[in-house]
Amino acid sequence: LDYDHTRLRGLALEEGSHTSHVAIVARALDIPVLGGVKGVLDKVEAGDPLIVDSDNSQLFVRPSEDVRAVIDGALRARAERKALYAQMRDMPARTTDGADISLNVNAGLLIDVPHVIESGADGIGLYRTEIPFMVRSAMPDITDQTRLYDRIFEQAEGRPVVFRTLDVGGDKLLPYWEDMTEENPAMGWRSIRITLDRPAVLVHQLRALIRAGHDRDLYIMFPMIAEVAEFDMAKAVLDEQLRREATRGFVPRKVEVGAMLEVPALIWQAPALLDRVDFLSVGTNDLLQFMFAADRGNPRIEGRYDTLSPSVFAFMRQLVTLCDQRDVRLTICGEMAGRPLEAMALIGLGIKRLSMAPASVGPVKEMVRSMCKSEVERYILTVMDNPTRSLRSRLKAFAIDHGVKL
């Protein structure tokens, strides 16, 4: 984030995986990125030409002319696809049997926000408020935060923006905070746990959001809720700040409050939670690492467990049923939502809202417009109880047989 984004053409990281936060931010900026490239620093010298092929997980060091010619052809094909996606910008994300799917973008920087308009997305389904905190040398005060959130509202041009409150810890560290090194940071002191333990941080952020949201629709989401009690505590802080700011003349036109489901245990409290929230979002990156007890940043087990597995499908189907029964909007965020094959499966499981990197909106919309929702639903019902560890090959074959564009 400290680099000039217009000059940064690609990233090759010795550590991390495709779901690490640095990789997610890079993709949001449309920068090709590879993680877990062991020994790359020993093999590359300053000035070496490199090709980062993130589509096929390949890094070419000092590529030959033949390789360059192949890559140039691939880039031309990609440019043609982008032109096609641009033509579809104002077309609805509607399946062949008439089901409308809401496609939203994930964002975390001001530079991301114009992509909402450019991509034809319905709004910002996840605004990661922590990223501006991570690039500063000191904690931004209420005035700075208010100014930032106000600009986000303006650039979104009336489209809804879901602000996720500060989600730091784990692999997202603030340089000006105390040392937060832990043996197991993914399951440690992070996210809502920090802001409930340090309520002044949450209070200041909520005041800034309320002030920027004056006379606007304000959507606030609390991350990594593991118990309903945590949501209740965070919501109580928000309610108090809404009352306080109202006496100062800051009154949002509408306020909706949601939670992010990333901890699997929360599904057993879902009925109580769904009675309290206006909407629910699933953070699949963390959810899947907790579900499979597999560190998302560990390259040794990356890919060991597939997102397109019967256990994931059963979890999602149960959640969809619970949300439909209580008329609570459910959105899938995370990398899973932005991959056409996975998005097809999610829609077949009953998901109606997806939020993804801006560059994924075009490919996913093309897929949506080529699929028949009812056919996918019927097929998933026939395979989701299969004991196999992955349904990927079956779903891909189904998509090819039924003309779904992946």
> Which entry of 18, 204, 333, 402 is annotated as an active-site residue?
333
Question: Strand pairing of 217-222 and 161-164?
Answer: parallel
Please give the structure tokens belonging to residue 263. 């901890």
CA pair distance 170, 141, nearest whole angstrom: 23
Burial 89-113 (b: 16+ CB within 10 A, else e): eeeebebbeebebbbbbbbbbeebb
Structural contact between residues 152 and 133, judged by C-beta atoms closer than 8 angstroms: no
DSSP-assigned letter for residue 14: S
Q: Give the three-state DSSP class for 1.
A: coil
CA pair distance 41, 48, nearest whole angstrom: 11
Active site residue 21: yes
Please give the structure tokens belonging to residue 184. 């197991």
Cα 90 to Cα 234, 314, 349, distances in angstroms: 38, 34, 26
CA pair distance 136, 106, nearest whole angstrom: 21
Neighbours of 30 (CB within 10 A): 12
Structural contact between residues 198 and 235, judged by C-beta atoms closer than 8 angstroms: no
> Which entry of 21, 115, 204, 214 is annotated as an active-site residue?
21
Catalytic machinery residues: 21, 333
